[in-house]
Structure 1
Amino acid sequence: MLVTMTTPTREPQQDRSRATRQRLLEAAIDCLATAGWAGTTVAVVAERAGVSRGAAQHHFRTREELVTAAVEYGTDTRVAHARDLLTLADGRAGTLDILRLLADLYTSPLFRAALQLWVAASSDPALRDQVLPLEARFGRIAHHLVVDALGADETKPGVRETIQATLDLARGLGLADLLTDDSARRENLLHQWAAILDAMLNQ
């Protein structure tokens, strides 16, 4: 009887390269969130990603190249995260539930990584030029998602400003949570703001 031997299909080199790049970008975001800007180097990111430094430098020759790619990747990931969280509400969740989802978005590791980039960009014009348009894009998308989740009518006076204040509040709560666990105070504030939002939206 003739036995046919099959050779396992090898992962194409291009796919392996994409997977390595993906691991590096994810590791860079994680590193920014936990070790900060100063601790995010190509060597550290490579170690976290489980690849050699040489392999990392094949994709990103310098820290600047790595961070540039991580900025865009992180923004795309935050947008996807926001969509996943807020579109689940789909007009059915209560205002407080939506605010809790928004607070989760701004206390996540993705937000912590973005915050490290903001701090670095404040004193680095080249990095600031990269970060500003991406943050503006994220802000626009987050605003539209919150409007849709709340079923808000922005043609009414003051509604657009109140939605923006909601996003500013969530961002501030994320900052407050950076150094200590602020969850108890955050919950009280969300209850109060939900009442204010409901009063505005139901006018």
Structure 2
Amino acid sequence: MRARLLDATLELLVERGFAGTSTTLVSERAGVSRGAQLHHFPTKNALVVAAVEHLTERRGAELSAAFEELGAEPVATAADRRTRLRAVVEMLGDHFASPVFTAALELWVAARTDEALLAAVAPLEQRVGRETHRLTVAALGADESRPGVRELVQATLDLVRGLALASTITDDSARRRRILREWADVLDRELGKELTA
């Protein structure tokens, strides 16, 4: 029942935003009585804070699964490296343009002016950010001990996050793919330097 309530909360965050998500709508969507919902989560903030934790776990699991799907095959040639970089960057773009990211975005915006929500969201987002960075470094095969590489990885994550914002308003997938292909070429040039240095 708890998982149904949390999943319903995330669905409503995506569909209606934070302001349009109410405990009544959540209990209806989850198919549980209002009393049962109140037993688990007596307030909207209690529900949303639990949903933040649930969302953090989901985002981490989805991202890990996406990286695992790419595999960890060694890159033997420059063409393999270019193909790998494009696949990693495209996967990140798709992940950040997903409904799970949209729900997270709703929580970020709400947390900006709600201290209790911010206290729950900020540490979880820091954890997600560190893990996403770590997974991206591994997937790119990047050596962060080299000057500028850490910044390239972070720029990649900032880019996909920013492009995901655009996709919340309109279907921006074609433009996103073109931009990410170009960025993958930048990464290929810059990370390729570290392999030949």
- TM-score (norm. length: structure 1): 0.88
Matches within 5 A, 1:84-95: 84-92=65-73, 94-95=84-85
Structure 1 residue runs without a partner (length 5+):
1-19
Q: Which has the larger radius of gyration?
A: 1
Which residue of structure 2 lines up, in the alignment, with residue 51 of structure 1?
Answer: 32
Task: Indicate the SS of the match to 2:70.
Answer: coil
Greater length-normalized contact order (CA 8 Å, ≥ 6 residues apart): 2
- State the 1:197 CA deviation: 0.4
Residue type of the partner of 2:10? I
User: How many angstroms apart in 1 are the aligned matches of 2:19 and 2:91?
Assistant: 30
Of the candidates 175, 179, 182, which is equivalent to residue 189 of structure 1? 179
CA contact (8 A) 1:86 1:102 kept: no
Check if 1:168 corresponds to 2:155: no
In structure 1, the partner of 2:109 is 119
Q: 1:127 is aligned with what amino acid?
A: L
Equivalent in the alignment of 1:8: none
Distance in 2, Cα, partners of 1:71 & 1:106: 16
Q: Residue 20 of structure 2 aligns with which residue?
A: 39
| Counterpart code for 2:109 | V
Match of 1:130 in 2: 120
Number of positions where the alignment pairs a residue of Structure 1 with one of Structure 2: 184
Counterpart of 2:64 in structure 1 is 83
Q: Is the 8 A contact 1:98 1:149 kept in 2?
A: yes
Between the aligned partners of 1:91 and 1:153, the Cα distance in structure 2 is 15
Q: Is contact 1:90–1:148 with CA below 8 Å preserved after alignment?
A: no
Q: Which structure 2 segments of 5+ residues have no match?
A: 74-82
Is 1:139 matched up with 2:129?
Answer: yes
- State the Cα distance separating 1:55 from its structure 2 match: 1.2
Task: Work out whether 1:198 is the aligned partner of 2:188.
Answer: yes
1:149 to 112, 123, 139: 139
Deviation at residue 90 of structure 1 after TM alignment: 2.9
- 1:99 aligned onto 2:80: no
Q: Which amino acid aligns with 1:38?
A: A
Match of residue 44 from structure 2: 63
Letter in 2 for 1:74: L
Identity of aligned residues (%): 51
The 4+ residue runs of structure 1 with deviation greater than 4 A are: none
Q: How far is 1:142 from its partner?
A: 0.3
Equivalents in 1 of 2:114, 2:2: separation in Å? 25
Alpha-carbon RMSD? 1.0
Q: What is the rounded CA distance, in whole Å, between the counterparts of 1:100 and 1:44 in structure 2? A: 35
